[in-house]
A and B are shown apart, each in its own frame.
Chain A
């Protein structure tokens, strides 16, 4: 049997990797993938707590998180395409103006 602490630690490690990637990566697509990694870490703790407290609503929350992540990925990638079309770059250091 696995203690709940192990699941929470794994979830924390994944979330930390996501935060680190969000901070140190310069490619806008990789930054976006780091956000997905953070969402996955949170999902794992949701499911672990659902199993721990014998409450299925945790798994329903994971479902909603996935729906929101899908919507966010669609709109975010469309924004990335629009940014690339106007600026011809994916480096966030060069995307520092609201208007061209």
Chain B
């Protein structure tokens, strides 16, 4: 009973945050409501016994990724989004389509799922068991993700660095060459 109450509490917060993300016009309000969604989802993970995933959810998602979002919003000084012709078309076509899809998914879930209860702490989701799985059975994917992260870092640096920096580097290289030639010519003289 307590489990169900806590589930409904966190679920209500998560859905309210998700709807608020859609309703708000200013991106910073959307970002903060997304933080609320992620924190309440961490509560849901704790209810399912997944302690490690809950901790990572708070640290990586609600911490690192959302700080990155808020940082970019403040860096670009993003204001309220403007209503345009495209947004009206998107609402007219998107809302009915998404409603049909959601009803379909809900129908399938309710029709074909057995009502077995998921028990609290059904399985040990502690870091030790996860680490044993991660570094034994999933070692190759784990190493591949490290390469993925490395590529992402380099891509972000290349994409976000100002284009003048690259142009300036290209311009200065021949200039240095010229000065070296001039110096050599001056020495000969």
A11-55 at interface with B (beta carbon < 8 Å): 12-21, 23-27, 29-30, 32-34, 36-37, 40, 43-44, 47-48, 50-52, 54-55
By the criterion CB–CB under 8 Å, are A78 and B156 in contact? yes
By the criterion CB–CB under 8 Å, are A73 and B69 in contact? yes
Q: Which residues of B contact A2 (CB under 8 A)?
A: 3-4, 7, 47, 117-118
B90-117 at interface with A (beta carbon < 8 Å): 90-91, 93-95, 97-98, 101-102, 105-106, 109-110, 113-117
- Total interface residues on A, CB under 8 Å, equals 71
Q: Mark B73-99, 1 if CB is under 8 A from A, else 0.
A: 101101001111111001101110110
Q: Which residues of B contact A75 (CB under 8 A)?
A: 152, 155-156, 159
- The chain B residue sitting closest to A85, CB to CB, is B162
By the criterion CB–CB under 8 Å, are A63 and B130 in contact? yes
A98 within 8 A of B: no
- Total interface residues on B, CB under 8 Å, equals 90
CB distance from A5 to the nearest CB of B (A): 5
Q: When the two chains form the complex, which single residue of B61, B90, B138 contacts A24, counting CB atoms closer than 8 Å?
A: B90
User: Main secondary structure on chain A at its contact with chain B?
Assistant: helix
Residues A12 and B27 in contact in the complex (CB < 8 Å), given A37-B37, A79-B159, A81-B76: no
Q: When the two chains form the complex, which single residue of A6, A12, A40, A81 contacts B38, counting CB atoms closer than 8 Å?
A: A40
Q: Which residues of A contact B81 (CB under 8 A)?
A: 25-27, 30, 90-91
User: Main secondary structure on chain B at its contact with chain A?
Assistant: helix
By the criterion CB–CB under 8 Å, are B145 and A67 in contact? yes
Q: Which residues of B contact A68 (CB under 8 A)?
A: 145, 148
- A interface residue numbers (CB < 8 A to B): 1-10, 12-21, 23-27, 29-30, 32-34, 36-37, 40, 43-44, 47-48, 50-52, 54-57, 59-60, 62-64, 66-75, 77-82, 84-85, 90-93
User: Other CB < 8 Å A-B pairs besides A71-B148, A93-B87, 17 of them?
Assistant: A2-B4, A2-B117, A3-B117, A9-B110, A13-B15, A17-B21, A33-B34, A37-B18, A48-B118, A56-B129, A68-B148, A69-B61, A77-B72, A78-B156, A80-B76, A81-B72, A84-B76
